[in-house]
Amino acid sequence: MNQVISNTTKIKQINVEMVKDALIELKYGTKQTISSETGLSVATCGNILNELVESGEVIEVDLEQPSGGRPARRFMYNANYCYVACIYVSYEEGVNKITHAVTNLVGEIIEEDSVKVDSISYESIVSLIEKLVAKYEIIKAIGIGVPAVVCDGDVVGNCDIKELSNLPLQKQLKKLFPIEIIVENDMNLKALGFYRKRNFHNSKSIAVINFPKDHCIGSGIIVDGHIIKGNTNFAGEVSYLPLGLSQDDLIKELEKDDQFLRLAVKIITSIITVINPATIALTGELVRSDMMGDIISGCLKIVPKEHMPEIIVRENIHDDYINGLVSVTIESLACDVQLVKKRIF
């Protein structure tokens, strides 16, 4: 009996998300147009819309005036029904930064800022969240990006921000804030944001590879529209490729121009042969646009031309990072992210 109730509740939640996504895409809709868009019955759409209007998540607007007959009720999704806050922490070229953005439910930015700090700690993240939720009481979810392997919201192993290493970040924050909390790997978020910004078809595969200074390289991989995390969320940790170097030595060698080319080609071709991506974006302080000719020609010595992806430099990855972070944070409010359309950008 409980299983039947559970399944019924889940089906209703899925239907509600379908109606909301249809309204977002249509901008305005009647019960009839939403029914056509979702495949749900007009009666089901009507019941869901009435509940969403009552909660404030949907707004009823001016009636649609047909050529004859009774005017149809018209609805619009309330993008400002609630907000999400997104935070990412970074350590680049000796500078600690905490960046945040607050957006509505269609990704429109309400507030955005990036500040340099002496150090990044759990307490500094808590302090920022406290300020944001006090300022915007309608924040319903927090998304956090960190440069580390993340498993079930826990920072696993070493993090570029040493104070966050081996920290159960999500669990601790959930004890303090009664809202949805998401913690995700930075490269997964950058890859997702890049993928969605470029409007790739769901059958396409892409990768974003980061070559930072003074830190381990990493990558984010999207296959068929999905982030590839692997069994223990270790997928994309390309600094562990068998290049014959320890991680510390790899960091040093990549800072030498002659060695960078040799190593970058090995890393890129490894990804090409495993996922056969349509596009690879290179980012990080060690990558320059004037290297592209040599990188591509080096890859072509290993990979047949017909299997070579587009390879580009993404000098500023901030917009992709925020885009990916906002996307997963908004989707955390939905019952089943597999059924949520891409609401952002």
Tens digit of each residue's pLDDT (9 = 90 or more) over 234-256? 999 999 999 999 999 999 999 99
Question: What is the model's pLDDT at position 339?
Answer: 41
pLDDT (average), residues 125-132: 97
Question: What stretch of H or E contains 73?
Answer: strand 72-77
- Predicted TM-score (pTM) of this structure: 0.88
Cβ proximity of 136 and 85 under 8 Å: yes
Show the domains of the chain with their CATH numbers: 2-77 (1.10.10.10), 83-189+319-339 (3.30.420.40), 197-316 (3.30.420.40)
Question: What is the model's pLDDT at position 338?
Answer: 42
Give the range with max mean pLDDT: 189-203, 284-298, 322-336: 284-298
Pair of tokens at residue 20: 């909301």
pLDDT at residue 4 greater than cutoff 60 = no
Question: What is the model's pLDDT at position 266?
Answer: 97
Q: CA-based diameter of the chain, in Å?
A: 77
pLDDT (average), residues 76-85: 94
Question: What is the model's pLDDT at position 92?
Answer: 81
Strand duo 72-77 + 83-92: pairing: unpaired
Q: Of the ranges 112-121, 192-201, 291-300, which one carries the lowest mean pLDDT score?
A: 192-201
Give the range with max mean pLDDT: 21-25, 84-88, 211-215, 222-226: 84-88
> Cα–Cα distance between 49 and 30 in angstroms, integer?
9
Cβ proximity of 171 and 154 under 8 Å: yes
Cα pseudo-dihedral 305, 287, 184, 343, rounded to 10 = -70
Pair of tokens at residue 3: 């299983």
At 146 the three-state DSSP class reads strand
Spatial strand order of the sheet with 279-283 comes to 226-227, 218-223, 206-210, 279-283, 310-313
Choose among 279, 299, 306, 291: nearest CA to 209: 279
**Main-chain phi, psi angles of 95, to 5 degrees:** -115, 125
Q: What is the mean pLDDT of the chain?
A: 91
pLDDT at residue 337 greater than cutoff 50 = no
pLDDT at residue 88 greater than cutoff 60 = yes
pLDDT (average), residues 143-169: 94
pLDDT at residue 201 greater than cutoff 90 = no
- Render 30-48 in DSSP notation, one character per residue: -HHHHHHHH---HHHHHHH
pLDDT at residue 340 greater than cutoff 50 = no
pLDDT over 90, % of the chain: 79
pLDDT (average), residues 153-164: 92
Cβ proximity of 98 and 124 under 8 Å: yes
Pair of tokens at residue 294: 């040599």
What distances in angstroms separate CA 22 from CA 17, 131, 247, 340, one per listed residue? 8, 34, 47, 10
Question: What is the model's pLDDT at position 65?
Answer: 61
